[in-house]
Amino acid sequence: MEGFLAFALTVATISAIFGIVGLGVNAQWGYGGMLNIGNVAGFGAGMYTTTLLTVGAPGERDFYAYGASLPLWLAIICGGFVASIVAAAIATPALKAGVSALRLGLVTFAGAEILRTVLAVRLDIANGFPGVHGVGSGFRHWAFDNGGQDFYDLLIFLIASAVFITAFALLEIWRRAPFGRVVRAIREDSDAAAMLGHNVLKFQVQTFAIGGFFTGIAGGIYVIWLGTVTPDNMLPAVSFMVMIAVILGGSGNNWGVLFGIIITLGLLEQGSRFLPTTDDIREIMPYLRRMALAAALILVLRFRPQGVLPEQRSVTVK
């Protein structure tokens, strides 16, 4: 595949993978009202768990202690659960202390940074800074033997979008279910929800875990696509991009999240390569692109803080 088709497939794959992250973050922030500026913690936990569960025993140049050689699908699901535990573990003490949304944002940010630093410094977990390479190589070889690069790319896209659609459907059901309604009630007024007998902390922690699960699943698919994981995959900029996409598209609206992710991480990040450029501009293009994204975010917050596709307020018909 060449030219436009390859471009479209890349955009679609990235949008699907980060769309899953966006859905998870939207559950926490859009519906739960809990700011998770360190959402890359769950994403990274998924990447690293999937890596360590699929790679074989450490080779001569490896420092990591253990590789489990599990099948990919099982490793990805385990990654989701580990991510859900990590996300909940970071947020629970802060939620328990009843800190404000801003402080929760700071705590999650700090949590993600702690995780990234530990993974970078400890060689025995996953090789530290250089990271682990050759993740999912068995699957890649199989796909290349059976249909080449195009088949592989298409397969990854199909897997990612199938998971995205499933996640979307599950979270839509969750949103409409009593669970989701209580979570939104807590967002609006936690005291009132507590007075109605709901265990606020329990619902908040569970929501964090649910969101974390989906970010972890996305991390697992992403690491297999990349074939490698390093602590740099967990830089705060990744969290920022997802947060920006969710808020730009519309917090509390899963369609808005999809829109935001496609526009920001898909089209804007990938699309600028088709602009006519000189060498000078090409060098600074990544920076210009992100400046445009940041400017768009500021304008949306200024003139339409609810996002491009805002949350649909449900109306009860009597």
Query: Which positions touch other proteins (CB under 8 A)?
Result: 35, 37, 93-94, 96-103, 105-107, 109-111, 113-114, 117-118, 120-122, 236-237, 240, 243-244, 247, 284, 286-288, 290-291, 293-295, 297-298, 301-302, 305
Half-sphere exposure of 181 (CA within 13 A, CB side): 7
Smallest CA-to-CA distance from 112 within 122, 120, 123 is with 120
Q: Which is nearer to other proteins, 173 or 294 (CB)?
A: 294
Minimal distance in Å, beta carbon 192 to other proteins? 18
Minimal distance in Å, beta carbon 162 to other proteins? 32
First to last CA, the chain: 55
Q: Which is nearer to other proteins, 98 or 148 (CB)?
A: 98
Minimal distance in Å, beta carbon 180 to other proteins? 21
Q: Which is nearer to other proteins, 1 or 121 (CB)?
A: 121
Minimal distance in Å, beta carbon 228 to other proteins? 21
- For residues 129 and 77, the answer to whether their CB atoms sit within 8 Å is no
Angle, to 10 degrees, between the axis of helix 200-226 and the axis of helix 40-54? 50
For 141, counting Cβ atoms within 10 Å of its Cβ (0-12 exposed, 13-18 middle, 19+ buried), the class is exposed
Q: Which is nearer to other proteins, 47 or 120 (CB)?
A: 120
Q: Which is nearer to other proteins, 185 or 285 (CB)?
A: 285
Structure tokens at 108: 């999650």
Q: How far is 230 from 233, CA to CA, in rounded Å?
A: 6
- Strands 228-229 and 132-133, sheet pairing: antiparallel
Minimal distance in Å, beta carbon 105 to other proteins? 7
Q: How far is 190 from 201, CA to CA, in rounded Å?
A: 10
Minimal distance in Å, beta carbon 245 to other proteins? 12
Q: Which is nearer to other proteins, 6 or 295 (CB)?
A: 295
Q: Which is nearer to other proteins, 170 or 267 (CB)?
A: 267
Q: To the nearest 10°, the Cα dihedral for 97, 101, 105, 106?
A: -60
Minimal distance in Å, beta carbon 149 to other proteins? 32
Q: Which is nearer to other proteins, 4 or 287 (CB)?
A: 287
Minimal distance in Å, beta carbon 130 to other proteins? 14
